[in-house]
Amino acid sequence: MRVLIAPDKFKGTLSARQAAEAIERGWRRTRPQDLLELVPLADGGEGTLEALVPADGSPESGELVSRVVAGPLGDPVQAEAGVRGTTGVVEMARASGLALLTQTRRDPRRTTTRGTGELMAAALDRGARELLVCVGGSATNDGGTGMARALGARFLDARGAALHDGGAALLDLAAIDLSGLDPRMRTT
């Protein structure tokens, strides 16, 4: 029998890969002759990068790119993106995720997606020509303005001053300036 084992993570206990391997071990105890294929999945939040760009060292799996980027409140965090062929994979939760903040520091009025944009730039720097941005697990509601800022966009109030980070600043948004946008983000 051919069996596809394709679980998501068991949050707080097992990654999707660990869950798939545990299921495989259990299955093999009673049916060792079956052909098992492990395909860990993710829902776009934590664990998505690991599912799409596994760190198993094989060239076909791609490579991880590690950077210090802005966390949800601007604090530096070590985060990774992946590059598989010409596709960059960015898991928003790695740079702008809820898990990066304690309960008392969670404030969507001030949190930013800037680190996610910095990871996007890191993937582009490593040769990605297209980006897959997985947006689950976010601690933000800035509409992606922090991400776009990290890539050269400007968000301005009615006086032409740059907005501060965070969702609350969007109340003052009057204009968007894309003239400085990283040219690798433009499509034809």
Q: How many CB atoms lie within 10 A of CB 154?
A: 17
Supply 60's token pair. 């076909």
Query: What CA–CA distance (Å, rounded) separates 86 from 145?
Result: 25
User: E strand or H helix at 5, and its extent?
Assistant: strand 2-5
Per-residue confidence (pLDDT) for residue 12, from 0 to 100: 78
pTM for the model = 0.84
Per-residue confidence (pLDDT) for residue 47, from 0 to 100: 85
pLDDT per residue rounded down to tens, the chain (188 residues)? 999 999 988 877 888 889 999 999 999 999 999 999 999 888 888 888 988 888 777 777 789 999 999 999 999 999 999 999 999 999 999 999 999 999 999 999 999 999 999 999 999 999 999 999 999 889 999 999 999 999 999 999 999 999 999 999 999 999 999 999 999 998 75
Per-residue confidence (pLDDT) for residue 43, from 0 to 100: 85
Radius of gyration of the chain (CA): 19
Show me where the domains of the chain are located: 1-41, 43-185
Strands (E), 35-129: 35-38, 63-70, 76-84, 87-91
Per-residue confidence (pLDDT) for residue 75, from 0 to 100: 96
Could you write out the DSSP letters of every residue in 103-152?
Answer: GGG--TTT---HHHHHHHHHHHHTT-SEEEEE-TTB---STTHHHHHHTT
DSSP state of 169: G
3.90.1510.10, 1.10.287.1080, 3.90.640.10, 3.60.20.10: CATH of 43-185:
3.90.1510.10
Per-residue confidence (pLDDT) for residue 60, from 0 to 100: 77
Strand 63-70, strand 35-38: pairing: unpaired
Query: What CA–CA distance (Å, rounded) separates 145 from 166?
Result: 8
Per-residue confidence (pLDDT) for residue 170, from 0 to 100: 95
DSSP state of 53: S
